[in-house]
């Protein structure tokens, strides 16, 4: 019968003397503690997966009746909203409008939660990072311009090939753009996106000329449900961080009051790009 290595250690220690017995006991205790930690971490991971599945299912169950409620509110509004409506009907219309707005807000909260807590199955393709950023800026610029925000791009001269899920990466970047736009909502400003190759990684910077954040806010900005905006869900930036991490990337924030904010995303280059970079440097 084959014995475990630590059993041989104990047998050898008994033959060698008291000092080796103490060492053997210490090593056995360390091994048992490590085993318990691994088992505990596995149980916690399993519990979190189960909890995520349950909460995701609950969110879907809530979302479906909310849609039904909203449709019926719209039908009631159409029935009451006519030129001959009396004052009582007008009061009912105002109340229906308030309820409908709250239903819409709840739907948005659930959508944000499902994006944050849901399972992301990456469908990566190799693509030039400049194209991702350019497409997103074309989509977002009209919305930004409507609030007095000007969007500018500085793209690298050479392609930056990354292996990413394009839709999810765009979602992460869009969350950063929306956050920047909201930070400058009071007086407009400039929003800058810059792409470049940073050694073995690709880098995207999202920079705004907003008011910036104090350090105590910046430290919590990626925490779920933490927000300083009225009506915000506090899930936009945590969702962006999760997406970037699932791409084996990193997102950081550099900010201070009075000098805007700069989010920096680092992503791995697509396989083979590092070799091409070294060859080009020779």
CATH number of the domain at 192, please: 3.30.565.10
Q: Does pLDDT of 211 surpass 60? A: yes
User: Could you tell me how far CA 112 lies from the centroid of its own chain?
Assistant: 10
Which pLDDT score, from 0 to 100, does residue 226 have? 77
Q: What is the pLDDT of residues 81-115, one digit of tens each?
A: 777 777 787 788 888 888 888 888 777 777 767 66
| 208 shares its domain with 154 | yes
- In the chain, % of residues over pLDDT 90: 29
Q: Are residues 48 and 71 in the same domain?
A: yes
Q: Which residue has the tokens 């991971």?
A: 45
Closest CA to 233 of 81, 71, 59: 59
Which one of 119, 134, 156 terminates a domain? 119
Question: How many domains would you assign to the chain?
Answer: 2
**Mean per-residue pLDDT, 109-138:** 83
Q: Is residue 132 domain-shared with residue 213, that is, in the same domain?
A: yes
SS (H, E, C) 92-159: HHHHHHHHHHHHHHHHHHHHHHHHHHCCCCCCCEEEEHHHHHHHHHHHHHHHHHCCCEEEEEECCCCC
State how far the Cα of 152 lies from the Cα of 145, in Å rounded to an integer.
11
Give the largest CA-CA distance in the chain: 103
Which domain covers residue 65, as residue numbers? 1-119
Q: Do 112 and 87 share a domain, yes or no?
A: yes
Q: What is the mean pLDDT of the chain?
A: 79
Confidence of residue 133 (pLDDT cuts 50, 70, 90): very high
Domain end among 93, 119, 145? 119
Are 107 and 198 in a shared domain? no
| In a shared domain, residues 159 and 90 | no
For residues 129 and 268, membership in a common domain is answered with yes
What is residue 275's predicted lDDT score, i.e. its pLDDT?
43
CA distance from start to end of the chain: 58
Q: How far apart are CA 116 and CA 121, in angstroms?
A: 13
**Looking at the structure, do residues 50 and 17 belong to the same domain, yes or no?**
yes
> Do both 173 and 270 map to the same domain?
yes
Tens-digit pLDDT profile for residues 10-63: 555 555 555 555 655 666 677 677 776 776 666 655 655 555 555 666 666 676
My answer on whether 144 and 194 are in the same domain is yes
Higher pLDDT, 259 or 111: 259
pLDDT number for residue 16 = 54
Boundary of a domain, candidates 79, 94, 119: 119
Top pLDDT among 96 and 278 is at 96
Helices 236-246 & 166-183 angle (0-180, nearest 10) = 150
105's CB contacts (< 8 A; 6+ apart) are 231
Q: Are 251 and 240 in contact (CB under 8 A)?
A: yes
Same domain (yes/no): 62, 170: no
On whether both 138 and 102 belong to a single domain, the answer is: no
pTM recorded for the entire structure:
0.65
């Amino acid at each position: 019968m084959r014995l475990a290595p630590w059993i041989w250690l104990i047998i050898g220690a008994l033959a060698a003397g008291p000092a080796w017995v103490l060492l053997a006991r210490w090593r056995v205790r360390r091994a048992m503690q490590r085993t318990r930690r691994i088992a505990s971490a596995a149980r916690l991971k399993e519990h979190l997966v189960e909890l995520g599945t349950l909460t995701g299912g609950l969110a879907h169950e809530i979302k479906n009746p909310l849609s039904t409620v909203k449709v019926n509110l719209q039908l009631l509004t159409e029935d009451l909203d006519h030129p001959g409506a009396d004052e009582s009907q007008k009061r009912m219309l105002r109340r229906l409008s308030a309820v409908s707005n709250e239903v819409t807000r709840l739907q948005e909260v659930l959508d944000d939660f499902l994006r944050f807590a849901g399972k992301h199955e990456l469908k990566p393709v190799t693509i030039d990072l400049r194209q991702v950023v350019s497409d997103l800026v074309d989509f977002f610029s009209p919305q930004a311009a409507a609030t007095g925000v000007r969007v500018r791009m500085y793209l690298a001269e050479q392609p930056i090939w990354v292996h990413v899920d394009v839709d999810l990466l765009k979602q992460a970047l869009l969350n950063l753009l929306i956050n920047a736009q909201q930070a400058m909502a009071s007086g407009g400003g400039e929003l800058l996106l810059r792409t470049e190759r940073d050694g073995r990684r690709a880098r995207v910077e999202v920079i705004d000329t907003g008011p910036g954040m104090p350090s105590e806010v910046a430290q919590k900005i990626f925490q779920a449900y933490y927000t300083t905006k009225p009506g915000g869900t506090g899930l936009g930036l945590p969702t962006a961080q999760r997406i970037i991490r699932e791409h084996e990337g990193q997102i950081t924030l550099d900010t201070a009051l009075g000098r805007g904010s700069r989010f920096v995303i680092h992503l791995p280059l697509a396989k083979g790009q590092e070799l091409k970079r070294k060859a080009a440097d020779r």
